[in-house]
Amino acid sequence: MINILYAGSVSACFELENNSPYYSGEEYAVRLNGEEVMTSDRNVFSLYPLKPNTEYTVEVEGHEPVHFTTISEACAVSVKDFGAVGDGVHDDTENIQTAVNCLPEGGRLYFPEGTYSTAPINLKSHITLDLSEGAVLLGSTDVSRYPVIPGTVTDIVTGEEVHTGTWEGNAIPMHQALLFAEHAEDIRIVGKGTVDGNAQNSEWWVNVKERVTGRPRLIFFNRCKDITIHGITAQNAASWQLHPYFSQKLDFLDVSINAPKNSPNTDALDPEACDYVNIIGCKFSVGDDCIAIKSGKIELGRKFKQPANHHTIRNCIMQFGHGAITLGSEMAGGVKNLTVNRCIFAHTDRGLRIKTRRGRGKEAVIDGVLFENIKMDGVLTPIVINMWYNCCDPDRFSEYNTTREKLPVDDRTPYLGKFTFRDMDCENCHVAACYCDGLPEMPIEEITVENIRFTYDENAQEGVPAMKNNAEKLCRSGMYFDNVRKLTVKNVELDGCVGEPLTANHVDELIKE
Stretch 57-81: mean pLDDT: 97
Give CA–CA dist 199/182, Å, rounded: 23
What does pLDDT average to over the chain? 97
pLDDT the model gives residue 253: 99
Average pLDDT, stretch 471-489?
A: 97
Residue by residue, DSSP assigns 258-279 as: E--TTSTT--SB--BS-EEEEE
pLDDT for residue 190? 98
pLDDT, average across residues 240-267: 97
Domain boundaries, the chain: 2-69, 73-276, 289-513
pLDDT at 345: 98
Superfamily of domain 2-69: Immunoglobulins (2.60.40.10)
Q: Is the pLDDT of residue 393 over 90?
A: no
The pLDDT of residue 487: 98
Mean per-residue pLDDT for 475-479?
Answer: 98
Residue 127 CB-density burial (10 A; 0-12 exposed, 13-18 middle, 19+ buried)? buried
Give the amino acid at 174: M
Domains 2-69 and 73-276 share a fold: no
pLDDT of residue 391: 84
- Model confidence pTM above 0.85: yes
- Find residue 132's DSSP bridge partners: none
At the topology level, CATH places domain 289-513 in Pectate Lyase C-like (2.160.20)
The catalytic residue among 254, 288, 349, 393 is 288
289 catalytically annotated: no
Domain 73-276 has CATH 2.160.20.10: yes
Q: What is the pLDDT of residues 324-364, one digit of tens each?
A: 999 998 999 999 999 999 999 999 999 999 999 999 999 99
Active-site position among 163, 175, 243, 322: 322
- Which value, in Å, is the radius of gyration of the alpha carbons in the chain? 23
Arithmetic mean of pLDDT, 95-117? 98
> Which tens digits make up the pLDDT trace of 190-249?
999 999 999 999 999 999 999 999 999 999 999 999 999 999 999 999 999 999 999 999
Check if 288 is active-site: yes
Give me the pLDDT at residue 394, please.
Answer: 80
Rounded CA-CA distance 211/296 in Å is 20
Render pLDDT for 150-166 as a digit per residue (tens, 0 to 9).
Answer: 999 999 999 999 999 99
pLDDT at residue 392 tops 90: no
